[in-house]
Amino acid sequence: MYILLAIVVLAAVGIFAQLVKVNVVEGDELRELIAQSYIVEKKITGERGTIFADDGGILAASTPLYNLRLDTRAAGMTEELFMEKLDSLSYYLAYHLDDKYTVGAWKERLLEAYKKGDRYFFLKNNVTYPELELLRKFPIFRRGQNGGGFIAERNEKRAHPFRMLARRTLGYVKDDVKVGLEGSFDEYLKGAEGVGYMLKTPQGFIPQQNLENITPKNGYDLYTTIDVNLQDVVQNALMRGLQYHNAEQGTAILMDVKTGAIKAISNIGKVSNGWAEVYNYAVGTATEPGSTFKLASMIALLEDGYVKLGDSIRLNQGKAQFYEEEMVDASIHGLDSTTVRHAFEISSNVGVAGMIDRYYNQSDKGRVRFINRLKDLYLHLPTGIELRGEALPYIKEPNSAVDQWSGTTMPWMAIGYEEKLTPLQLLSLYNTVANDGKMMKPYLVKEIRDYGDVVKRFKPTIISSRVISRNVVKKVKSLLEGVVERGTAHKLKSAYYHFAGKTGTAQMDYKSKKQKHKYQASFAGYFPAENPKYSCIVVVYEPREHGYYGSAVAGPIFREIADKCFVLDPALKYPVNAHVATLDTRKMPSWQVGYKEDLVKVADEFSVPVRDQAEDWAVFKTYDNVDSLYLLNRRMSPKIIPNVEGMGLKDALYLLENRKVKVRFKGNGKVLKQSIRGGTTAKGQTIYLRLG
């Protein structure tokens, strides 16, 4: 009994001693450790939706990346297993994960982590999925999280396959900052959050796969109106223009006339290491537009019936005094008077401002009437584009003390000063003219989808079916076409198609007395002029080299965009047989060389009589007073270099390369000269062709 009692007393003393040790000696440390290690709920985000272009190409998508850790106290991580596989695991990590550490260094690091009982040992961050799949085959790691302690935490990186293309329009979401489409449609793109259970340790959170997780819902996909090919055209044209003129920044927008769908939008600014899309100038920057605003002034004058395009107005050789301010025309023309049409075409400040001053600035009623005309064109309202941060337009109210109205306000408003518009707001006006007076709301998103199923569809929205009367639309269209044909943009006109538009040059600090001023060059218009498909605006801020006028800076960028749209868009091309010309036998082609069947086919297409005297290769020949084309034979020996002068490049290449002759050419059109005379034996020489 005494022995048993002694054992019980000793046991009780031991327990009491342990309790004292746990609660007093080690209490604080253990309580802190317990506080640091417990199961918590952690929100898990689903995969963010993808943003697509109009043709289904990916503009922005989430790329999965993984942060890798090792739990050296995982349930299946026995000392025997760890020590057995340590060498081989160190080898694989050194050669396939991070060669910054040698095999020996990896072994030391892993062994130290195991001795410490590290439950969250760092391996590597931002590992791609293919790399992850390889790592899962490594020794120990292949046993998974519970058996081998291998932890792979998934995160996302937003990838942009086309890099800078429309980057600012696409935008981003970072903490509470939401920009562009990513920000405006964040609620759709981000999906719904789920809940996962984690073991919180001093080193980090360890996912607990043995507890039930609530799976997050992936975000919806966004389908935009952006055409990747046209976006590339617009961005490259703008970039070249900015670089050539050493400008501070610029923007260009291409819009579908009938629907208001934005097909391309580019915003490029100068940064410390080059160029980047750092801000959406097209939507977020409202400035005094300059002469491109004269379109609104002309619409007001024509709608109220104050002028006709053929009326004569005074220009006073390009100078006029409005109260205490003198206004001058941008270019010297020496005209005392001209027609309304010509004044607009040469962008006369004095002419347009004089008309507005005469018909609207003589009474409060007239001033209110002019401002109401601008409001009829919706120039006082934002477009409502689905992007955050659209700048509000600024149109002064008559006789407002807040707006600092004065006697010179009306003349200067007439030519694009003392009001502010964003490039998109101004383009909306030009698009309305191109669309015969129907105003469309500009938009960027056409559908939201969930795994292919349409969740929400955005259709073209008509703001007003008749903003400008039919009669006035017809007149201002002819004015915009005249600017390109005879006016300030006449150097930009194309021989292959017609476009219409208006140049603009705004002096950004025109009230300043400094000798050196800053300028904003712009061009707004549409094409083709006969049946408009696209409207476009180009604005270049602070060009420093090679001119600053809209016709010299923004106009060429517009023209390049229009040219390449005609190349890319089949709908803009005219059928070659749309207008069949009548045959003039006095001007039939002569000395046209080529493959006989091709020449006969062309002649048949235009109903030209042919007298065939050829075999495979032929030459057209005409004779005076003969109403037929003769097809004369041109011999082509397989062992000699043929005479290819007069041929198209395709036929010349076919003949020469079949004779093992190397061809170099320069120019365009038909072969004018060949460096080796026809009839020379073919010996694999190099022949140079000049085309023209």
CATH number for the domain including 596?
3.30.10.20
pLDDT confidence bin for 154, thresholds 50/70/90? confident
Predicted local confidence at residue 574, as pLDDT: 63
Do the Cβ atoms of 502 and 292 come closer than 8 Å? Answer: yes
Proportion of the chain above pLDDT 70, given as a percent? 84
21 found inside a domain: no
CA distance 170 to 225: 12
CA distance 227 to 55: 7
22 found inside a domain: no
617 found inside a domain: yes
Name residue, tokens 């396939």: 96
| Residue range(s) defining the domain that contains residue 469 | 231-572
pLDDT digit string, tens, across residues 11-30? 888 888 888 777 777 766 65
CATH of the domain at 450: 3.40.710.10
pLDDT digit string, tens, across residues 258-301? 999 999 999 999 998 889 988 999 999 999 999 999 999 999 99
pLDDT digit string, tens, across residues 228-253? 999 999 999 999 999 999 999 999 99
Give the lowest-confidence range in 186-200, 232-246, 494-508, 596-610.
Answer: 596-610
Do the Cβ atoms of 259 and 188 come closer than 8 Å? Answer: no
pLDDT digit string, tens, across residues 204-225? 666 665 445 566 788 999 999 9
390 found inside a domain: yes
9 found inside a domain: no
Determine if residue 320 is left, alpha or beta; phi over 0 gives left, psi from -120 to 50 gives alpha, anything else beta: beta
CB neighbours of 108 closer than 8 A, spacing ≥ 6?
none
Q: Of 572, 603, 618, which residue sits at a domain end?
A: 572
Residue 133 parent element (H or E): helix 129-135
Assign 304 to helix, strand or coil.
Answer: coil
CA distance 151 to 149: 6
Of 13-17, 160-164, 180-184, which one has max mean pLDDT?
180-184
Predicted local confidence at residue 238, as pLDDT: 96
Residues 244 and 219 in one domain: no
Predicted local confidence at residue 479, as pLDDT: 97
CB neighbours of 326 closer than 8 A, spacing ≥ 6?
319, 320
Do the Cβ atoms of 415 and 355 come closer than 8 Å? Answer: no
Residues 86 and 101 in one domain: yes
pLDDT confidence bin for 522, thresholds 50/70/90? very high
Residues 319 and 405 in one domain: yes
Helices (H) and strands (E) in the chain, counts: 21, 31
Predicted local confidence at residue 619, as pLDDT: 55
pLDDT confidence bin for 611, thresholds 50/70/90? low
Name residue, tokens 């995160």: 155
What one-letter code names the amino acid at 637? S
Residues 403 and 501 in one domain: yes
14 found inside a domain: no
Residues 361 and 331 in one domain: yes
How would you classify the pairing of strands 58-70 and 121-127? antiparallel
Give the lowest-confidence range in 50-59, 368-377, 420-429, 671-680.
Answer: 671-680
CA distance 546 to 549: 10
Q: Of 517, 548, 572, which residue sits at a domain end?
A: 572
Higher pLDDT, 591 or 549: 549
CA angle 563, 565, 568 (to 5 degrees): 115
Residues 302 and 370 in one domain: yes
Residue 555: CA count within 13 A, CB half-sphere: 24
Residues 291 and 332 in one domain: yes
142 found inside a domain: yes
Residue 513 scores a pLDDT above 90: no
**Which tokens belong to 33?**
């450790």
Name residue, tokens 């065939």: 612
1 found inside a domain: no
Residue 582 scores a pLDDT above 70: no
Residues 540 and 657 in one domain: no
Residues 155 and 72 in one domain: yes
Residues 549 and 634 in one domain: no
* Closest CA relative to residue 303, chosen from 104, 175, 139, 475: 475
Give the lowest-confidence range in 91-95, 99-103, 160-164, 228-232.
Answer: 160-164
Of 31-45, 325-339, 418-432, which one has max mean pLDDT?
418-432
User: H/E/C letters for each residue in 49-109?
Assistant: CCEECCCCCEEEEEEEEEEEEECCCCCCCCHHHHHHHHHHHHHHHHHHCCCCCCHHHHHHH
Residue 566 scores a pLDDT above 50: yes
Predicted local confidence at residue 211, as pLDDT: 45
Residues 299 and 235 in one domain: yes
CATH of the domain at 97: 3.90.1310.10
CA distance 449 to 246: 42
Residues 387 and 521 in one domain: yes
Residue 626 scores a pLDDT above 70: no
Number of domains in the chain: 3
pLDDT confidence bin for 586, thresholds 50/70/90? very low
Q: Of 181, 207, 224, which residue sits at a domain end?
A: 224
Predicted local confidence at residue 660, as pLDDT: 87
Q: Residue range 340-362: average pLDDT? A: 96
Higher pLDDT, 603 or 450: 450
Residues in the chain: 692
Predicted local confidence at residue 333, as pLDDT: 86
Higher pLDDT, 623 or 485: 485
Predicted local confidence at residue 612, as pLDDT: 61
CA distance 539 to 504: 9
Q: Residue range 498-506: average pLDDT? A: 96
Residue 587 scores a pLDDT above 70: no
Give the lowest-confidence range in 326-335, 587-596, 657-666, 675-684.
Answer: 587-596
Predicted local confidence at residue 155, as pLDDT: 79
Q: Residue range 69-74: average pLDDT? A: 88
Mean pLDDT of the chain: 86
Predicted local confidence at residue 580, as pLDDT: 47
**DSSP annotation of 21:** I
How would you classify the pairing of strands 337-339 and 453-457? unpaired
Do the Cβ atoms of 542 and 522 come closer than 8 Å? Answer: no
Do the Cβ atoms of 428 and 380 come closer than 8 Å? Answer: no
Residue 160 scores a pLDDT above 90: no
